[in-house]
Amino acid sequence: MLRPTVLGLLLACAVSLSSSAVILENGMPILWAHTTGQVTDLPTQNGILTPDPWHYLHRMSLYRLAIAATDPFMGSMGTNATDSPLWGLPLQLGWMLTSGRLADPTGATTCGLQTGDTMCISPQSWWGCVNYFVSALPFLSAAQQGFIGPGVQVQMQTPAGVEDFCTTYADCTTRYPDAMAKWDAFFQGLKAATDSPLPDNEKKDSLLGLYWAAQMASTHASSACNARKSHYSSTEVSFADSWLNSAEYVSAAHFHSNLENSAMFISPLPSRILQEGDSAPNIADLSADENHTLSIFSWMKSINSLLGGTLVNLWQRAMCSVTTREKGREMLGQLLLNPGFATSTFLSIVTGMSTSC
């Protein structure tokens, strides 16, 4: 299943050229139907699983396998088959593919380009590098915690000449102890939740807290990718920084990143790499939704900088209970998806909520 058909390749090329971000195909992440649902379909060497996370379908398969393995423990998330918070990750990877962000930004190779291997994820891509920390690391942790099968060992493949990525559970734990410890805590928390007497909404909130703690630890560890930012325009780098900054808000609100919610937040992200001179909300070849999202991201980042980081701190303080986090999730949706929602309203509500905690 890990060999895309010609149709799949054509689809990947076609969506890259579309006018807005395409992140779903038949209701699932891009090329999901071409990934593997069986651990045994991944390559092995000497009894060790050796997936290639620099191949889009292999990396997407890591998500599919992790979602399937953890679904029996996700009862508190809801009754839909796509209610696991892990669904946000494959959607994000699909957006990176169709927007051209996984391709080689240096132009030295055709990795990820329509003229080359469309399924190749370039080790030089900042986006591909950052995503490695929320794909390879959680999969290695899930395997270590027994979710992928009894005694399964995993070693990620690396492209020739690339040595700055950890490839095994032991290696990643040595290099990024905080990120791996938090992924371990999330997967252990899933097992513990099955016997927990807490009501489902509290159980859900607790698991989402563990999930976002792990994702944020991976995001902080991905500062190892920073040198790769030099391959992009200052406009794209500013967007990338705003995108990272937005994670501080969704994580503090324990955002339920199931398939439906994640699709709403990811589809208005820019459908191509930004160039010098692109200035939201007036980027002609991007949709009104994409321009709006870029404007809001930029506003949140600039306000936070002007306030010396206090907007993020205020928000984090306000997200102090199950109830305020529910309100916070609703407000983030308004801010990002409703162009009529005033940014001043957001500021005043956050300030009020933070004092009531």
Q: Where are the domains of the chain?
A: 1-225, 232-357
Closest CA to 95 of 247, 263, 315: 263
pLDDT over 60 at 1, yes or no:
no
For 28, the 3-state DSSP assignment is strand
Q: How far is CA 345 from CA 27, 311, 340, 354, in A?
A: 34, 13, 11, 14
Q: Which residues pair with 219 in a beta bridge?
A: none
Percent share of the chain, pLDDT over 70: 94
pTM for this prediction: 0.91
Phi/psi at 202 (5° precision):
-75, -40
Per residue in 163-210, pLDDT (tens digit) is: 889 999 999 999 999 999 999 999 999 999 988 999 998 999 999 999
Closest CA to 293 of 326, 214, 301: 301
CA dist., res. 21 & res. 223, Å (int): 26
The residue-averaged pLDDT of 104-121 equals 94
Pairing assessment for the beta strands 48-49 and 28-29 based on DSSP bridges: unpaired
CA dist., res. 91 & res. 69, Å (int): 18
Least confident of 7-16, 156-165, 221-230, 297-306: 7-16
Contact (CB, 8 A) for 76 and 204: yes
- Using pLDDT thresholds of 50, 70 and 90, give the confidence band for residue 22: confident
CB atoms inside a 10 Å sphere around CB 198? 12
Task: Say which residue the tokens 């060999």 belong to.
Answer: 3
- At residue 341, the pLDDT reads 77
Contact (CB, 8 A) for 42 and 36: yes
Residue 321 gets which letter from DSSP? S
Token pair of 18, please? 């579309």
For 60, the 3-state DSSP assignment is helix
- Using pLDDT thresholds of 50, 70 and 90, give the confidence band for residue 133: very high
- At residue 17, the pLDDT reads 39
- At residue 60, the pLDDT reads 98
CA dist., res. 191 & res. 210, Å (int): 12
pLDDT over 80 at 215, yes or no:
yes
CA dist., res. 185 & res. 138, Å (int): 11
The residue-averaged pLDDT of 19-38 equals 89
